[in-house]
Amino acid sequence: MAVHSFGYPDIPRDACFFFDLCGRNKAKLKEIKMKKNILAKSVNSICKYMLAGVMLTSGIIAAAGENKVVASFGILGDITKQIAGDKVKVTTIVPVDSDPHAYDLTPANMIDLDKGNLIIINGLGFEGYLERYLNQDKFKNKIVVASKGVSAENFPEGEHHHDHDADEHEEHHHDHEASEHEEHHHDHDADEHEEHHHDHDESGEHKGHHHHHHNGLDPHAWQNPLNGVIYANNIADALCRIDKDDCAYFRKNAEQYTAGLIELDSLYAKKFASVPKDRRVLITTHEAFGYFAIRYDVTIMSPLGISTGSEVSAKRIAELKDVISKGHVQAIFMERNGNNSLINQIGGDKVANKELFSDMLAPEGEGSTYKSMLEHNLKAIYEAIAPEK
């Protein structure tokens, strides 16, 4: 068998050349294909990086254009979220389940306040921990007083809202309809808030316990659901100012939300009206339920004043024990995260097994929203004072 120089036996030289060429071309094609694959992968990677870059840039632009609202404490934060939905980023100064009466502003809080488009406060002297810091020109157009338009209750610090003994209880009960409530109290707008609630000593510290100085006003207006309606509408108005495009959305949410509060109030106004007047007497940890007491014509006494840090006198303790001993008090309630040692001392086995929500919400579940907080309090108090069937 003849073997040619190309190494292919019995094959003509031309055929061998052809096969050799095909082999080389095949190798070349394989090389080209490999290069095409590498190029394709490179292009794909570049596209991915470009897409990621576009998405990141879009996110930064979106974040830069996002409206930020800072609420002073949980109740206002929740109302704002219910109305704003996903259109606005809402941050709360006082952490959930923390006592606003005993809070001190942190550097992180100050950063949030500086970045916020709106700062929503309760007003009526409640935010003692914020007053000094917000008393700066840069915040002048950011502050929204949620309680603007509420009929504020006059309540000098240290005095007790319903300070009755057993014999005087019937004579001094508050007998107000909602309309009368509106007529006999003062409206306080944002300007009045500035005039009445920036009371500092020379060192900048606020007078009074836990930096609160209420200047004769009870700040716990949210305990009346109808005041919650005022809060919600004020917040919706403020959101519309910073986001006109979504104003209709805010208004619709506020309308639905306030309808729920009005319905809740109407239900329990009828329930409490059905309870004999001499049974509408209870004791709570501190004077946080004055607006509740007026709205539903209930007498509520407390060992502590408006602030959870108020001092209590031996005389006050003796008075409350006397009222309890005479059988006029239907229920004694502790407050969630409140200073409840005095309640246990005064009430003993008469203390209810349910706590009330006064100034703060629960982290989750019952009482974790403003509306569910109201529902919890209304139900607990009503069931405690209603006659057994």
- pLDDT digit string, tens, across residues 359-373: 999 999 999 999 999
Mean pLDDT across 278-282: 93
The CATH class for the domain spanning 68-385 reads: alpha beta
Question: 40 or 270: whose pLDDT is higher?
Answer: 270
Mean pLDDT across 208-237: 83
Q: What is the pLDDT of residue 343?
A: 80
Q: What is the pLDDT of residue 232?
A: 98
Question: 166 or 300: whose pLDDT is higher?
Answer: 300
Question: 233 or 353: whose pLDDT is higher?
Answer: 233
Is residue 360 packed enough to be buried (19+ CB in 10 Å), middle (13-18) or exposed (0-12)? Answer: buried
Mean pLDDT across 37-62: 50
Whose tokens are 């309090």? That residue is 377
Mean pLDDT across 228-253: 98
Mean pLDDT across 23-52: 57
pLDDT of 208 over the 90 cut: no
pLDDT of 31 over the 90 cut: no
Question: 39 or 128: whose pLDDT is higher?
Answer: 128
**Residues 75 and 227: beta-carbon distance below 8 Å:** no
The DSSP element (H or E) to which 301 belongs, if any, is: strand 299-301
Is residue 293 packed enough to be buried (19+ CB in 10 Å), middle (13-18) or exposed (0-12)? Answer: buried
**Residues 82 and 372: beta-carbon distance below 8 Å:** no
Choose the most confident range, by mean pLDDT, from 19-28, 141-150, 161-170. Answer: 141-150
The residue ranges of every structural domain in the chain are: 1-65, 68-385
Q: What is the pLDDT of residue 92?
A: 97
| pLDDT-above-70 percentage for the chain | 65
pLDDT band at residue 78, thresholds of 50, 70 and 90?
very high
Q: For 308-346, what is each residue's pLDDT tens digit?
A: 555 677 888 888 888 888 888 988 998 887 667 778 778
Q: What is the pLDDT of residue 140?
A: 92
Mean pLDDT across 235-264: 98
pLDDT of 32 over the 50 cut: yes
Q: What is the pLDDT of residue 155?
A: 64
C-alpha distances out from residue 336 to 219, 261, 305, 367, Å: 18, 22, 16, 10
**Residues 161 and 287: beta-carbon distance below 8 Å:** yes
Mean pLDDT across 119-147: 94
| pLDDT-above-90 percentage for the chain | 48
**Residues 148 and 197: beta-carbon distance below 8 Å:** no
pTM score over 0.85: no
Q: What is the pLDDT of residue 56?
A: 44
Q: What is the pLDDT of residue 308?
A: 54
Averaged confidence pLDDT in the chain:
77
pLDDT of 50 over the 50 cut: yes
